[in-house]
Amino acid sequence: MIISLEYIYYIAGIFLTLITVLTLKDKKNPKRITTALFWGLYALTFLFGKVIPPMYMGIIVILIAITAGFGGVGLGSYSQSTENERKDSAKKLGNLLFLPALLIPIVTIIGALWLKNVKIGGLLLLDKDNVTIVSLGVACLIALIVSLLLTKQKAMQSIKESRRLIDTIGWASILPQMLAALGGLFTVAGVGSAVTKLVSGAIPVDNKFLVVVAYVVAMALFTMIMGNAFAAFPVITGGIGLPLVVHMHGGNPAVLAAIGMFSGYCGTLMTPMAANYNIVPAALLDLPDKNDVIKVQVPTALLLLVVNIFLMYFLVY
């Protein structure tokens, strides 16, 4: 293949390395050493994850967690344009400002649906096993290039602005990846089998509707505990979705996966564990109650969860 997932990882690693270097140079950041250590270790996982032995990778992850856990990630100083400069730029560009953001989903869809089987010189253009993620990476690069052309800014300015944003979000920015890995560990540890036994003992598994209810609700609840639907998906799908909905009752796995993830996202809306979605926005908006975002989202989440139950029941079988 011409563009593989590894290349996307390398780009992410280079980006984080630049963030690390800028952080080390920022003497106004009182925690610049530990902040740089945090992003530097994270960069290593992308750049050398394929060759670092699992035990040492585990040590790196523990060091990342310790650095964040003891408050080692701090804010520094950032070279930003003034408010008047931003207003003038926005007025000049108008609706073209939205173009880079719109390009990301558009290019991702084009790559995932129409370019997945395209070959150049006998080689696949995109990594077929990870076509959506690779397409997303390519889309982000294209959006970056377009934004630089529109604003006529230097590429390094985008890195500097990214550092400000990523420092503001802090450790929560890597939470989805960590939780997804934790979900994989739970699956290997046999948590899914334990869930199957619990559900089988709690409900009549020959009832298709109750099995669907169990799967949808479990996806939301486990997501609330884990803080991420990607972490809950392998555990709950392996424990309820595949053995009961698909294998026992002949459900469609594609429908199961799509609505199952959507159900997990309902849980994301209702938990402080999804810090990057619910706690970080409250902090960025300086809301007096850090749980305000969650409180507003709960009614919508519960309504969607009910809708998902019936969507799953009527579409999966």
Long-range Cβ contact pairs of 22-28 (< 8 A, separation 24 or more): 22/159, 22/160, 22/163, 23/76, 23/163, 23/167, 26/76, 26/77, 28/76, 28/77
Confidence (pLDDT) at 284: 66
Confidence (pLDDT) at 96: 87
Specify whether 147 is located in the same domain as 159: no
Residue 235 C-alpha from the chain's centroid: 17
Query: Tokens in use for 254?
Result: 């594609």
Specify whether 118 is located in the same domain as 207: no
Boundary of a domain, candidates 105, 125, 153: 153
Specify whether 202 is located in the same domain as 228: yes
Boundary of a domain, candidates 153, 182, 206: 153
Specify whether 75 is located in the same domain as 102: no
Specify whether 244 is located in the same domain as 272: yes
Query: Tokens in use for 27?
Result: 């003497």
Structurally, how many domains does the chain consist of?
A: 3
| Alpha-carbon distances of 238 from 17, 188, 258, rounded to whole Å | 37, 10, 15
Specify whether 197 is located in the same domain as 116: no
Question: Within 54-130, where are the H helices?
Answer: 54-69, 83-93, 99-114
Residue 57 located in a structural domain: yes
Residues 176, 55: Cα–Cα separation, whole Å: 21
Question: Within 170-240, where are the H helices?
Answer: 175-188, 191-202, 208-226, 229-236
Specify whether 73 is located in the same domain as 47: yes
Is there a contact between 45 and 57 (Cβ–Cβ < 8 Å)? yes
Residue 48 located in a structural domain: yes
Confidence (pLDDT) at 238: 86
Confidence (pLDDT) at 256: 92
Residue 180 located in a structural domain: no
Is there a contact between 270 and 294 (Cβ–Cβ < 8 Å)? yes
Residue 176 located in a structural domain: no
Query: Tokens in use for 102?
Result: 């719109």
Pairing mode, if any, of strands 123-124 and 119-120?
A: antiparallel
Specify whether 94 is located in the same domain as 62: no
Specify whether 256 is located in the same domain as 134: no
Confidence (pLDDT) at 19: 94
Residues 193, 238: Cα–Cα separation, whole Å: 7
Boundary of a domain, candidates 153, 177, 210: 153
| Alpha-carbon distances of 235 from 79, 96, 178, 200, 317, rounded to whole Å | 44, 43, 15, 15, 21
Is there a contact between 150 and 24 (Cβ–Cβ < 8 Å)? no
Residue 209 located in a structural domain: yes
Residue 172 located in a structural domain: no
Each of the 317 residues of the chain gets a pLDDT tens digit; together they read: 688 889 999 999 999 999 999 999 998 889 999 999 999 999 999 999 889 998 999 999 999 999 988 889 988 888 766 777 777 777 888 888 889 989 999 999 998 888 888 888 888 888 888 888 899 999 999 999 999 998 888 888 889 888 988 888 788 778 777 777 777 777 777 777 787 788 878 888 899 999 999 999 999 998 888 877 877 888 888 889 999 999 999 999 989 999 999 999 999 999 887 776 787 777 667 777 778 888 999 999 999 999 999 999 999 98
Specify whether 250 is located in the same domain as 294: yes
Query: Tokens in use for 113?
Result: 């649906």
CA-based nearest residue to 297, from 278, 284, 274, 273: 278
Specify whether 159 is located in the same domain as 42: yes
Residue 185 located in a structural domain: no
Confidence (pLDDT) at 278: 80
Write out the residue range of the structural domain in which residue 51 sits: 1-79+155-167
Specify whether 20 is located in the same domain as 149: no
